[in-house]
Structure 1
Amino acid sequence: MELSSFGLLFRLIFAHFLADFILQSKGMANGKRGFQIIKKRRLSTVHKWTYHLSHSLVQAITAYLFAGMWSNWMIPLVIFVTHLIIDYIKIRYFNDHLHAFIIDQILHLLVICILWMGVYSIWSEMAEVSDILFASPKWWAILTVYLLILKPTSLLLALFTRQWREPGMNSTSLQNAGQWIGYLERCLILTFILVGFNEAIGFLLAAKSIFRFGELSKGQEIKTTEYVLIGTLASFTIAILTGLVLRTFLSAYT
């Protein structure tokens, strides 16, 4: 597989993001959902489909222009049809949920990758790469550890800190905010360790701690601060130890 063949892949991905997020106006996005903000009224099915078709056409034209393969009409045709179907299903059945947005983008990118492989007829080469990745213990170890530091670690920390949790302690917090903060911080720590950027862990801990530092002077907030500090240090400890074990395994394997 020549490196130059990736040029088309990146151009198609660029064209997708350009058309989906820059060229698509807020009015068009709302029009696909059947609502016109300016006049504050619901749109008919015909008007909704007009917006759907217009956006898919913009996607197809943008992909065609950036692909630069003027005789290949399969690229804009596939982009137009698949984008129309995927967007309609998302808006019709799932609306604006985060999971729907992520799945929507993954499907669009998957179509682009399949289209790219079809243009260059590199199915066998990509299959070989997939077989290598699938059979590699290193990749499975990395995926396993990243999975481990998400929900399993959150459940472990919840059980560990339950003895200090008081009723109403999280009543003023955003829903699931602490859980997602933990996910992000542990993923960052693990990534820092794997790339050898250990100094960043200290900055991450300092950045998180500074938000709670001012509350130490408030008597009623000391228990909450101590609770958060215990959870933070436990989360950091698990992520660091897990990262060190994984890095040792990867070094020994190579």
Structure 2
Amino acid sequence: MIIYILLIAHLLADFTFQTTKLAQQKRNSFKYFLFHILIYAVIFLMAIFPWVKFGKAILLYIIIISSHFFIDWTRTSVDKKFSSKAIIFASFIMDQILHILILAILYYAFDIGSETTSIYGYIQQLPHFNSLIIYSLIFVIIWDPAAVFIKKLFSYIIDGNSCAQEENDPQIGRVIGKLERIIVSVLILCNQFGAIGFVLTAKSIARYKQLEDKNFAERYLVGTLTSVSIAFITTIVLKQFL
């Protein structure tokens, strides 16, 4: 379960606690970049030290924070140097792949699963602890990380300045998408696959008039299918570990 806790910590620090404004500011100001690293460091402080023995925890912590600093600094430099939407989208994907890959490598390289504290051993014995961690990971993924991915995808495939699109990003649309993914995920966890169609139908009815606009219809279809696919795949995969 430690690897899942580390993944939750990464997603919270890199998405939930990194607002759109902070993500934009850290590109142009080293002060805000360091502020993001500080947030990341604080969250991982709580995600590592109570559960991993100090000898392994301190080295694990230093490597994770240092690697995050280096990867984010490299990505920021690439985004500043290149204006291509394809490169910016690719740098975002590679950034996340590298962060998650490093967490996985460190977990197995340091054999963290067998280096846990007595506190973790006690908590792990509590009823439904493992299920709670899996549920938390599912909902953390489909909340902010999925929303950011969809926004980045739109910036890549739709004409226009990506920064301007991020600034004008409609918050109500993001909230609807988040609620949509939560509902779909809950229905899958309850094995109510048939009810997913009603969710999509209700959303389409609310947008019925707007769907007459071809450009809006295309954006709506891409956004909805991507959103539902993320919720569906994430929940189906992680449900196997319950």
For normalisation by structure 1, the TM-score amounts to 0.41
Bigger relative contact order, structure 1 or 2 (CA pairs below 8 A, ≥6 apart): 2
Q: TM-score, normalised by structure 2?
A: 0.43
